[in-house]
Chain A
Amino acid sequence: MDDMDISPENPAPPLAPEPAENTGNAKGTTRIGDRIFLGLSRGSGVLLLAIMAAIAVFLTVRAASAISKDHGNFLTTFEWNANADQPVFGIAVLAFGTVVSSLIAMLIAVPVAIGIALFITHYAPRRLAAPLSYVIDLLAAVPSIVYGLWGALFLVPHLTGLYTWLDSYFGWTGVLAYHGGAARSLFTIGILLAIMILPIVTSVSREVFRQVPRMHEEAALALGATRWEVIRMSVLPFGRSGVISASMLGLGRALGETMAVATVLSPSFLISRSLLDPGGGTFAQNIASSFKESGDLGKDALIASGLVLFVLTLLVNGAARLIIARRKEYTA
């Protein structure tokens, strides 16, 4: 939504510098550029709004028509069969899979990213910090299909050891019970997504930690704080809202990740008791996997599921903004 800054309320500054007292009456050459720019920016603002409205209308109409033809409950059905004579499809499994795999990814990635960002900004010698930052940023440039291939060919076979270990300690919970077979589960997806969102969360957190004012850190140092205590007293409180934004960026990516998930997961319309069981699905993965063999109704049904994903992402973003705004009064 940041594109909206190019709006009529925020016209660009005059193209040529102009004495302040002349702005009232001058209609000379300098104003022409000004007016062209105003027209352009207003035009693009309106155009952007129009395109967005058109997309929204298109998607909503198609989604609504699909849902009205659904013979099951769109929210609670554990099935995706939009091509049948009696089409039945529901997003319960997709919503569960999307949320759970993204949450696992967050639980792993956010602490690791904060750790790496703190290491780079506050512990590593400069010789090490620069290359390390570079490598992390490079990870963000790897295409997601490459992560998918790596996940399917390397991660899946190598995770069975971890699965067995988890099962022997936490198998009794049921949630982490392992019943054999390939590790193509939501848990593996969570790990893969964690690796994929690690770079963005790390680099945003790193920039936030780097901006902690020197005087806040010195306040702690002068009281006799150790390096870790400086981080706890000055760096983390200052960086909190930034880290929340960073995490939300990562979460947004995890929720919408398509190719990597589609490559690794063995999809099914079931919710297993154990996160380590293969199966499940996510919104984006389901769209990618079933789009080709879908008929017209099937495509509309996928659009409806995509809209739900969009709403989910919006809600996450809104929640993050709320948290940040709530904290702002404290950190200002």
Chain B
Amino acid sequence: MAKRIDVSGLSAYYGSHKAIDDISMTVEPRSVTAFIGPSGCGKSTFLRTLNRMHEVTPGGRVEGKVLLDEENLYGTGVDPVSVRRVVGMVFQRPNPFPTMSIYDNVAAGIRLNGGRVRKSELDGIVEKSLKGANLWNEVKDRLDKPGAGLSGGQQQRLCIARAIAVEPQVLLMDEPCSALDPISTLAIEDLIGELKERFTIVIVTHNMQQAARVSDRTAFFNLAGVGQPGKLIEIDDTERIFSNPSVQATEDYISGRFG
């Protein structure tokens, strides 16, 4: 089900402020691509252009193309709602629906996408998704309890289960571990390794070791100065980025010799 993402000449704006400038890259299916770079360089903004979430911000505007296999997400007549159904997203702060039970949280996307699904079928999907998110054993006895009652790490895995329940083609994750303890972080990193067999994964992280551990490819973003738009500096195999990057700025950033 995983698809290739092909971005060309993509710029994004907040009102008149240009946040990212002319980004082009390819993300291979069934791989993990990590976005790294200093704060404010536009990683989140770029990530959110990949499922058309950028435009829900007031003033948000995008130029350029994002091809999912052959289809341009920004083509005329493309419904952003249907884009978001095939490109899932996990946010920095776990955000399960607070009034819904664990079960309903996982089922939420299906109930949107498919409308009516048989109960037995839904049970199956919920179990499979929770297992996929490595959460099943911890919650199988309390599926009807509110999702907000879980720990932060469990909530984040619940959000992952919710995102993968609808079988998206691509899974976007914006610093999914930054609010979590090291053990939950490891659990999610392991999970990412499993999920990439089925999905194309893009993850934003500030944690260099994490990028090195989980990703196949790494993209480094930077900005020329305050008020300047962020740019893609380079994207390459993770090993290469961390051992022998082709741009000096990348090496400076990774080795910590950077503002």
Contact = CB atoms under 8 A, between A and B. Distances in A.
Interface residues of B, number: 28
A221 B56 contact: yes
B201 to A, nearest CB: 15
A225 B112 contact: yes
A331 B109 contact: no
Interface in B85-142: 85, 88-89, 91, 93, 95-100, 108-109, 112-113
A330 B112 contact: no
B166 A330 contact: no
Contact of A223 (B98, B146, B162): B162
B84 A233 contact: no
B99 A222 contact: no
Contact of B99 (A215, A224, A225, A238): A238
Contacts of B83: 224
Interface string A130-144: 000000000000000
A218 B91 contact: yes
Contacts of A234: 97
A226 interface: yes
Given A223-B112, A224-B109, A330-B146, A237 B97 contact: yes
Given A216-B97, A218-B53, A330-B146, A224 B82 contact: yes
Interface string A216-242: 101111111110010001100110100
Contacts of A222: 51, 53, 84, 88-89, 91, 163
A1 interface: no
Nearest to A226: B81
A216 B98 contact: yes
A221 B55 CA distance: 11
A111 B183 CA distance: 47
B168 to A, nearest CB: 9
Interface in B123-173: 146, 148, 159, 162-163, 166
Contacts of A215: 91, 93, 95
A223 B99 contact: no
B91 A223 contact: no
A234 B97 CA distance: 7
B98 A221 contact: no
Most buried by B among A223, A225, A229, A331: A223
A260 to B, nearest CB: 37
Nearest to A225: B112
B81 A224 contact: yes
Interface residues of A, number: 20
A240 B99 CA distance: 10
Given A224-B166, A330-B146, A332-B148, A219 B97 contact: yes
A237 B99 contact: yes
Contact of A218 (B82, B95, B162, B163): B95
A41 to B, nearest CB: 37
B48 to A, nearest CB: 9
A330 B85 CA distance: 27
Nearest to B93: A215
Contacts of A216: 95, 97-98
B84 A221 contact: yes
A224 B91 contact: no
18 contacts: A215-B93, A216-B98, A219-B91, A220-B97, A221-B53, A221-B84, A222-B88, A223-B109, A223-B166, A224-B83, A224-B85, A224-B109, A233-B97, A233-B100, A233-B108, A234-B97, A237-B100, A331-B98
The 4 A-B pairs of least Cβ separation, nearest first, read A224-B85, A237-B99, A222-B89, A224-B84
Interface of A: 215-216, 218-226, 229, 233-234, 237-238, 240, 330-332
Interface of B: 51, 53, 56, 81-85, 88-89, 91, 93, 95-100, 108-109, 112-113, 146, 148, 159, 162-163, 166
Given A222-B89, A234-B97, 13 more contacts: A219-B159, A221-B56, A223-B85, A223-B109, A223-B163, A224-B82, A224-B85, A224-B109, A225-B112, A238-B99, A240-B99, A331-B98, A332-B148
